[in-house]
């Protein structure tokens, strides 16, 4: 009876030792299995090969080099992988990219290549003396959004800039002459930011104020008045750009502009 109890005890002890060994094995192997599983799950997918083709987009409303450059810059910033080239002579953009990138590029171009609004700017220059109006001049400019429009009216006045000695048997001198525009010059650009309009303008008036001697020649003295600024613009409402006194008396001059939408 005692022998049987000893055998049963030894079997029970062997069972406990085997169970403990299995438990320890599970404890050590479990983290390894989890790590292998995580490694397999987080392994990055193999990169697909790029299949590129070629396509050209023709812009309908880009009227300046800056318009074309703006669209090209937007494409390069939003689509860094394709090769993008602007063709100014054709008003187009050529791309080498994937089919998915072409779809995105087409949407970007459709959003940016839109017709520009055109405005009629009426500049009015009013002269007064002693509080009474003595003269009024109106200039009308048609200005597309984002494009500079220039008006110039006046004469070209010769100015002696130097003398050159010539050897024609006896020493003689020949004057060098350049011509300068004298009169009225107006430069205007309308910019649109969100729902607001802004006018960037420069009004320049020049006139002959006298003469001065340069060597043996008489050069004119040219007086100049410049009004340059950037102002918010409301359609249909007069905007006074400036008002100032003119030299030589009680004369004053005021310059205002009114903007209207053409299309």
Mean pLDDT over the full length of the chain: 79
Burial class of residue 143 in the structure, from the number of CB atoms within 10 Å of its CB (0-12 exposed, 13-18 middle, 19+ buried): buried
pLDDT tens string 216-259: 556 777 777 888 989 999 999 999 998 888 766 778 889 999 99
pLDDT tens string 166-216: 665 444 556 677 777 788 999 999 998 878 899 999 998 887 776 565 555
Residue 50 has a pLDDT of 82
Beta bridge partners of 224: 206
Q: Where are the domains of the chain?
A: 53-112, 118-261
**Which of the four pLDDT bands, split at 50, 70 and 90, describes residue 160?**
confident
Residues 142, 143, 144, 148, CA torsion sign:
positive
Determine the CATH number of domain 53-112.
Answer: 3.30.1370.120
Residues 6+ apart with CB under 8 A from 122: 138, 139, 140, 257, 258, 260
| CA gap 40, 65 in Å, rounded | 52
């Amino acid at each position: 009876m005692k022998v049987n109890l000893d055998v049963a005890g030894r079997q029970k002890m062997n069972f406990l030792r085997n169970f403990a060994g299995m438990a320890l094995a599970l404890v050590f192997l479990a983290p390894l299995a989890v790590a292998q599983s995580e490694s397999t799950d987080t392994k990055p997918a193999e990169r697909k090969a790029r299949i590129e083709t070629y396509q050209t987009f023709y812009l309908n409303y880009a009227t300046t080099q800056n318009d074309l450059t703006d669209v090209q810059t937007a494409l390069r910033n939003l689509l860094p992988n394709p090769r993008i080239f602007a063709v100014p002579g054709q008003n187009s953009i050529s791309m080498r990219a994937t089919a998915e990138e072409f779809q995105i590029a087409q949407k970007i171009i459709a959003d940016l290549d839109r017709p520009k609004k055109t405005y009629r700017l009426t500049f009015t220059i009013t002269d007064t003396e002693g509080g009474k109006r003595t003269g009024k001049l109106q200039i009308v400019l048609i200005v597309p959004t984002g494009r500079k429009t220039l008006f110039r009216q006046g004469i070209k006045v010769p100015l002696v800039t130097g003398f050159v000695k010539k050897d024609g048997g006896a020493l003689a001198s020949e004057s060098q002459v350049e011509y300068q525009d004298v009169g009225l010059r107006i430069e205007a650009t309308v910019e649109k930011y969100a729902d607001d309009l802004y006018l960037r303008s420069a009004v320049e008036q020049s006139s002959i104020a006298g003469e001065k001697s340069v060597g043996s020649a008489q050069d004119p003295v040219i007086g100049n008045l410049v009004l340059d600024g950037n102002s918010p613009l409301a359609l249909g409402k007069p905007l006074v750009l400036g008002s100032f006194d003119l030299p030589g008396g009680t004369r004053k001059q005021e310059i205002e502009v009114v903007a209207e939408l053409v299309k």
